[in-house]
Amino acid sequence: MNSDDLRSTAGRWLAAEPDDDIRTELQALIDGDADELAARFADRLQFGTAGLRAAVGAGPLRMNRLVVRQAAAGLAQYLLDTDPLARERGVVVGYDARRKSDVFAADTARVMAAVGIPARLFDQQVPTPVLAWSITHLGCAAGVVVTASHNPPADNGYKVYLGDGAQIVPPHDVGISACIGRVDATSVPLAPDDDPLISTVGDELVDAYIASVPAVRRRPDVAGVPVAYTAMHGVGGETVLRAFEAAGLPAPAVVAEQFEPDGSFPTVSFPNPEEPGAMDLLMSVAQSSGAHAALANDPDADRLGVAIPQADGSWRRLGGDEIGWLFADYLLGSDTGADRLVVTTLVSSSLLGKMAAAHGVHAAETFTGFKWIARAVHEHPDLRFVMGYEQALGYLVAAAPLDKDGITAAVLFAEMAAVAAAEGRTMQDWLDDLASRFGRHVLADAAVRMQPADAAAKVAALRAAPPAAIGGRAVVATDEYPEADLVRFELEGGVRVQIRPSGTEPKVKLYGEAVDEDPKPFVDALAALLA
């Protein structure tokens, strides 16, 4: 784009931009930094299986109302093209506490109504699992939640579900993206706020979701034990407290400083329970309150982090796989039948498959991302789905929605802590018992921050020319999973290391696993190959 075309395009965006703060930012770019202006308009945010995520700001490569309107218009056209009942079924739209989430959601509803698609707009901030659950409860054609989940505070995002309550997978993402590409972001038709096709929803759907929560319990006869909880400045807090009450469990001790929704996340630099230090306040509350487990949601409450006490009085944050193993062992042990199914992802531990084999049930390993777990459930209608998890703290332990749910997972983990206490053991004892039965599966992961294009290129280079050895161990097998953009290296001695570019963050992710051996040196050696 030459300079004249660039300024013309930027001028059209400036004229169409409804928000003063973004207009001021864009005007400053037009008046000043030509390179940054060119960078903002060099492309548009690409809509993929995670929808859209970026920092809030001006231009087509940031999250703003024009970008959201363009995305909503593309989604609306895709629904009209693919669902003959879209104008009857409508969409449901929710949002979290991040910057501009409410106006992004309202604009989505106005775009839908303008083309004749009814929009049910939440009148309050809502956890992502409640939005996803509401899609099937209402029979909608699709659902949208405005959230950047656990991304940094400056970001916001746009996540899309279709009528089954699962995140979109190919070819839907490609189809929606193509429709978005045909929309002029500066001239999207909007219905008025009071259009009769826009209705508000709220308490009635939260109430219905809460009413479904007690079904997740397997041992409602077991009295609860003290647990601690943090909402991490997200929107899950009130819903979690209500879920515990409905399930007959005592209210958790909460981290007061992190309970109220706050999109600036004042007590954490990175609001992700996986990040070192993010759960420190929680573990302090857990220790002082005599808790048996410490539970953390991410800001949109679709993930669950856990920490457990140790024999010396300290607390240890569990890895995502360890939480998944505990869920699997509990749920597989509380039911019978060879028609059961458990699902995990390529980058999660191999132990779930071994546990499933020991119980004589089916196990599926699918691509990275919870959308693929939902797809695996759909692909096995003859099997009873028991649970699914991904090591990035995503767990599905209830019948609906077909997406990760940190609220029902928190309720079930609290019950598991109570069952363990009733049996006279700790959660660490439980993990040690799993190690005695299946071998101690040791996991390690790492992330190397880099821009998405560089991350994809680095992984592609390793795929094209696999190393002969990693960390002094010969590579005995290389497996590629192109749909997951993942490469798996099997090393001598049974060590497994894997690498992929992140689908939601500017980084390359690495994963390692070994039995009775530390895989971290091999993960570090693989990371060094990215230099």
Residues 6+ apart with CB under 8 A from 280: none
CB 171 within 8 A of CB 100: no
pLDDT > 80? residue 33:
no
d(CA 62, CA 30): 16
pLDDT tens sequence across 214-248 = 999 999 999 999 999 999 999 999 999 999 999 99
List, for residues 111-129, the tens digit of each pLDDT value: 999 999 999 999 999 999 9
Q: What does the pLDDT read at residue 102?
A: 98
Q: Is the pLDDT of residue 503 over 80?
A: no
Helical (H) or strand (E) element with 339 = none
pLDDT (average), residues 345-359: 95
Q: Are 304 and 129 in contact (CB under 8 A)?
A: no
CATH class of this structure's domain 211-438: alpha beta
Contacts of 24 (CB under 8 A, 6+ apart): none
Best CA proximity match to 47, nearest among 182, 188, 140: 182
Q: What is the CATH number of domain 441-528?
A: 3.30.310.50
Residue 269 has pLDDT above 80, yes or no: yes
Residue 49, pLDDT > 80, answer no
The kind and range of the H/E element at 176 are helix 172-181
- pLDDT in the model for residue 504: 66
Closest CA to 441 of 531, 320, 335, 529: 320
Lowest mean per-residue pLDDT among 396-405, 501-510, 515-524: 501-510
What residue spans define the domains of the chain? 3-201, 211-438, 441-528
Query: What DSSP string describes 257-276?
Result: GGTS--TT-TT-SS--TTST
Cα separation, 431 vs 412, in Å, equals: 17
Q: Which residues are catalytic?
A: 149
Task: State the CATH class of domain 3-201.
Answer: alpha beta
Q: Which pLDDT score, from 0 to 100, does residue 423 have? A: 97
Distance CA 344, CA 331 (A): 15
Q: 211-438 with 441-528: one CATH topology?
A: no
Tell me the pLDDT tens digit for each residue of 416-425: 999 999 999 9
Burial of 428 (0-12, 13-18, 19+ CB in 10 A): middle
pLDDT tens string 384-419:
999 999 999 999 999 889 999 999 999 999 999 999
Tally helices (H) and strands (E) across the chain: 18, 21
Q: Is the pLDDT of residue 296 over 80?
A: yes
Token digits of residue 37: 């202006």
pLDDT at 448 over 90: yes
Q: Pull the structure tokens for residue 413.
A: 């983990």
Q: What percent of the chain has pLDDT over 90?
A: 90
What confidence score (pLDDT) does residue 145 get?
A: 98
- Residue 14 is predicted with a pLDDT of 97
Q: Please check the confidence at residue 1 and state whether its pLDDT lies above 70.
A: no
88-105 tens-digit pLDDT = 999 999 999 999 999 999
Secondary structure (3-state) at 213: helix
